[in-house]
Amino acid sequence: MTATERRKEAAGRVRAAEDAVARLRAGLAGVGVKLPSLRIDPVSCAGNEPTPLVDLGRCSLETAMRLSAQLEAAAAHDS
């Protein structure tokens, strides 16, 4: 694999992570939950072959409780 191909592949992984963050943000917003620190972990994108990680970040107790309530409601709906 050439250096150019590796750069394109790495850029694709970062774009996929950006898309995942956007989809997660939209999905959470759809159920009234906002994770203010939701982002791609910048350190995981460093280097020649990044492996991006999604950082869910920190949130308030209120946000954590809303997220828990949504997850519990979804689990109850699925069973």
Q: Please give the pLDDT value at position 72.
A: 92
What pLDDT does residue 6 have?
87
Q: In the prediction, which pLDDT does 31 show? A: 84
d(CA 79, CA 70): 14
SS (H, E, C) 15-57: HHHHHHHHHHHHHHHHCCCCCCCCEECCHHHCCCCCCCCEECC
What's residue 26's pLDDT? 93
Query: Given this model, what pLDDT does residue 7 score?
Result: 86
pLDDT for residue 42: 92
List, for the chain, all residue ranges whose pLDDT scores fall below the cut of 50.
none
The tokens describing 6, both together, are 């590796």
Which pLDDT belongs to residue 22? 95
pLDDT of residue 1: 79
